Structure 1
């Protein structure tokens, strides 16, 4: 699974969902400043928090954001520098996997720091709130299955793939969007297999959050990281994504490559400004 797919999958975690979603915002600086609010709204939607729990979560998210600004923004800037360097002579499979490992390491550090902050909120959840979480995830899965497996499933998969590409690579011109969409439509997609994997990950997510609620931080974090791993049966699909991404990156003309470099440079500048803000 390519780097953007990995991070999209990890967006199920409440402390990271809003943060990762910021990358697609028109103003990263504005959205990053609203992270506690955005993450709190997301968590409330899934957990149906009461006013006391919302206030508690907001305090914990602010603490997590302060840590992230200080410790992880420099790591994100370094990853962008690494990605930019890989463009010089053509991105290789190994370079792409190295970027993925760097992103996974960042996510793991974020989870490790989030665990003790999330624990008091999770420990205070009532049984009906855990049930609400399961209900919301089941609804999202059913919605996903209807869109991905419906009559226009191939179009939906193509749309999601190009949207994720643009989240990380910036606006793609028409030829690149057409190429990406054609690739996604051509991939073999086993709905039953993918649904099974999604169900397994949701089950593990709840188990991980329950482990955090009991202050078993190592187990919970390990389970969440396991959720990001590609299942053996999903490997062919992962390889199709990687092949498509490498073809797209290495097939860019000069203008397309410069547009990508500018996008990453602008993003890096915003991250540096955020880092220096506090």
Structure 2
């Protein structure tokens, strides 16, 4: 399970949503049960929290996860059930997929609203040393990603993008057909230099966060952090903003086309994966008794 990007573009607790997003975890309930253990490890990649900070953060984190499981997860299970029914009926079209996408965006926004006060307090209490470390770690993170995603020639970037997408697709549909692999390659080529736009945008968000934390004694600090978590688009670079609608639509078109190309075996595989996800998440003891 990928857990390093906790202080990324969305929020430091975005992993609360990972148990209901297509992450590829073999046991969703196991991942969800251990989020309070996984998240601090990831946060420590960026911040060396002292004992008091760790204790306070872990307590608040448990409260957030409990809130999420009790109040948000039941709705996610209903959405998974609806998606599964659409797969079985063969009615998963662009309109249905976009509705699921919008529901996912709303879920992330709800999490951002919930955890904003905790995040504000955590960042306000950082020592100057920790702020410098955060800045250094962001720079290191950027350099690593530039090496991985930008240093290779563009044709290699596109090929690796296609490989990553094919791997994700095959987790849910099983082995991709030749036609599906070709469609994935077309999508990867259409995104062209998206790696550069994505990394520039990521770096701008990180710089904005560090700048806000450096000035955490200012009266508008709470508002600045809230905007960074809740209104992320405000901090997008102009090129990324201009490209985003086309990239978003291209990816939705890709998913619909891959689903339309899927044979009976692949659709059955998808149905089984969704059923496994529902079963795993439904077994969590934090869910309301009516589940």
- With the shorter chain as reference, the TM-score category is 0.7 to 0.9
Describe the shift of the 1:202–1:97 C-alpha distance in structure 2 as closer, same or farther (beyond 3 A). farther
Structure 2, unpaired ranges of 5+: none
Q: Can you list the C-alpha shifts for 1:12-62, whole angstroms capped at 9, x where unaligned? A: 522123752783322222221211110011111112212221121111111
Which of 234, 245, 268 is the equivalent residue of 2:278? 268
> 1:73, 1:275 within 8 Å by CA — same for their partners in 2?
no
Q: Can you list the C-alpha shifts for 1:194-244, whole angstroms capped at 9, x where unaligned? A: 333233333345567769x94437534433465699712233333322221
Structure 2 equivalent of residue 134 of structure 1: 135
Structure 2 equivalent of residue 170 of structure 1: 172
Greater helix share, 1 or 2?
1
TM-score (norm 2): 0.78
Q: How does 1:165-204 map to 2 (within 5 A)?
A: 165=169, 170=172, 172-175=174-177, 178-179=181-182, 181-190=184-193, 191-204=195-208
Quote how far apart the aligned CAs of 1:119 are. 2.9
Q: How does 1:1-278 map to 2 (within 5 A)?
A: 12-17=10-15, 19-20=17-18, 23-87=23-87, 88-149=89-150, 150-151=152-153, 152-165=156-169, 170=172, 172-175=174-177, 178-179=181-182, 181-190=184-193, 191-206=195-210, 214-216=221-223, 218-224=226-232, 231-276=241-286
> How far apart, CA to CA, are the structure 2 residues paired with 1:96 and 1:207?
37
> How far apart, CA to CA, are the structure 1 residues paired with 2:164 and 2:263?
24
> 1:154, 1:185 within 8 Å by CA — same for their partners in 2?
yes
Quote how far apart the aligned CAs of 1:129 are. 1.7
Structure 2 equivalent of residue 3 of structure 1: none
- Helix, strand or coil at the partner of 1:257: helix
Describe the shift of the 1:9–1:246 C-alpha distance in structure 2 as closer, same or farther (beyond 3 A). farther
CA RMSD of aligned residues (A): 3.3
Structure 1, unpaired ranges of 5+: 1-6
> 2:11, 2:229 within 8 Å by CA — same for their partners in 1?
no
> How far apart, CA to CA, are the structure 1 residues paired with 2:279 and 2:36?
22
Q: Can you list the C-alpha shifts for 1:101-126, whole angstroms capped at 9, x where unaligned? A: 11111111111111122333222111
Larger radius of gyration: 2
Describe the shift of the 1:185–1:153 C-alpha distance in structure 2 as closer, same or farther (beyond 3 A). same
